[in-house]
Structure formats: structure tokens, C-alpha cells
Homo-oligomer: A and B are copies of this chain.
Amino acid sequence: MGKVFKTSVKKTRRIISQLNFEKGLIPVVARNFDGEVLMIAFMNKNALLKTLSTGLMHYYSRRMKKIWMKGGVSGFVQKVLEVRVNCENNSLLFTVKQEGPGACHMGYKTCFYRKILNSGRFKKVEKKVFNPKRVYRK
């Protein structure tokens, strides 16, 4: 499974200087170490800085306009194992170790728990792995 990937703030600034952020954001994919694609989200420079200095995934929420640590409430953090950069330096692929039963705030392992059918309907094709009402109750 490999160990957690981290680097210094200085090195992260070097990484950031090579990346192309679009209006301050870069799209990222989190793929679990078992190969499952968990989610697509965005990072700003600070979220990337926090991610790479802690080894834990931090995202930028466009809706809330702030950085949030994945698992901050649920405890289901994502540990960074590897980071890949695309040909145009404008997207990142993180391989992570998803802690706990799943990544999705709806109670699934992956946020992509619904398949689009020919009919245009969205159909659940994954099993619920935790009760979000319990996990996100404060």
C-alpha cells in the first residue's frame, strides 16, 4: 500500500509554481489505492499546500468558498499515497488510502454510486456502507 506522501512547504511552493491554476483552482481526482475512483473536486493553492504538508487530502469548496479537510467531521480521512500530474500541468490525480468505510457523505464508498441509464434515470449501483445521519451528527 505504500507510505504517506508528504513534502515541505518550500517544496510544495516549487510544485505550485509549475502548475496551471485556472482562476485559482485545479481539478483533482482522488482514487483509492484499490483503484476505485472516489471523487472529483478542486483545490486552490492553499488546499494543495495543506494536503502536501500534512499528507491528508484538503479540498476547496466552491460553494462554501473555503478549504475543508476530507474526514474532518466523519474521521474518514484520505491519506495521500501518490500524486500524478497531467501533461498540461492543470489537473492532479491523487492515489489515497480512504480511511473508514467510505468517502461519500451520502454513505457510500465512492461518490460515484449512481450509474446513468439509457432512459436518463440515475440508478444506485453501490451498497450503502455507513449511516450518514450517524456519522455527520454533531
Q: Which residues of A pack against B, CB within 8 Å? A: 5-7, 11-12, 14-15, 18, 22, 27-29, 31, 35, 37, 39-40, 62, 82-88, 91, 93, 104-106, 108, 111-116, 118-120, 122
Given A35-B35, A122-B18, CB of A116 within 8 Å of CB of B40: no
Q: Which residues of B contact A5 (CB under 8 A)?
A: 118
**Which residue on chain B has the smallest CB distance to residue A115?**
B84
Contact present for A86 and B112 (CB under 8 Å)? yes
CB distance from A24 to the nearest CB of B (A): 14
What number of copies of this chain does the assembly contain? 2
CB distance from A9 to the nearest CB of B (A): 11
Contact present for B11 and A40 (CB under 8 Å)? no
CB distance from A70 to the nearest CB of B (A): 14
Contact of A29 among B22, B37, B82, B108 (CB under 8 A): B37
Contact present for A104 and B87 (CB under 8 Å)? yes
Contact present for B115 and A86 (CB under 8 Å)? no
In Å, the complex CA distance between A127 and B12 comes to: 26
Contact present for A113 and B87 (CB under 8 Å)? yes
Contact present for B115 and A83 (CB under 8 Å)? yes
In Å, the complex CA distance between A40 and B29 comes to: 8
